[in-house]
Structure 1
Amino acid sequence: MSPVTLSPVERRVLQHIRRDILTHGRAPTYDELTAVAGTKGSAHRVVRQLARKGLVVREPQRNRGLRLPAGADTYTIHLEPEADAQLLALAAARDEVPEVIIARALAEYLGRAA
């Protein structure tokens, strides 16, 4: 399979969608994507293009109806039972999903390591 070619605006919109899903556990709104794409019409056009390329999945008639396709840049990690229990407790206390906490911690770590 050949790599997908993205325009600069497609790349920025895709990065924004991924970042929101990973850090907030939800997709951005089209209004939020307008700030990245330039206009609301451009945001809709770019999302349709990303969906045609298989990089996002559109869920029409749903608020924030975007998601990443299954297997899209995902990783599996195995935690020791004690660490897993601590992560689940932290997620429950913060009312977040564990993946969001892990993504945020990794982004913070990589930011410091760079």
Structure 2
Amino acid sequence: MGTYLVHHDIMRDYMFHFLYSGTSMYNFHNSWMEILTDCGTLDTLPYKRFRWAWHAYLNLLDIPAAEGFYCPKCRDNPRSIVMDGTTLGYHQRYSAKHSTEVAQQQDGPSHRGR
């Protein structure tokens, strides 16, 4: 056909990896390419084309993106805004406290010493 095909199951797999574990598209693509290489597949899909496939997949979904930013009752004039904290939070691994704990657990010479 002169192009590529990406099965919707791969797109769904990425979607759930992103939603439940925060896996980036780039990391998912790298993992998927590694799996294909391990299986002996000679053809690989460049990251740019995987990204295009993802956007094409999103266009097939029946998700009214513009509607997601409106309250079903108040529409675009809400009296109050409530957030769940997840959107405002960040992974604990990015905190300074976690970084120092990880650094203290490592054995061997420091980066500067190496």
Give TM class, smaller chain. 0.3 to 0.5
Q: Higher relative contact order at CA 8 Å, sep ≥6: structure 1 or structure 2?
A: 1
> Larger Cα Rg: Structure 1 or Structure 2?
2
Higher helix share: 1
Give the TM-score, by structure 2 length: 0.36
Give TM-score, length-normalised by structure 1.
Answer: 0.36
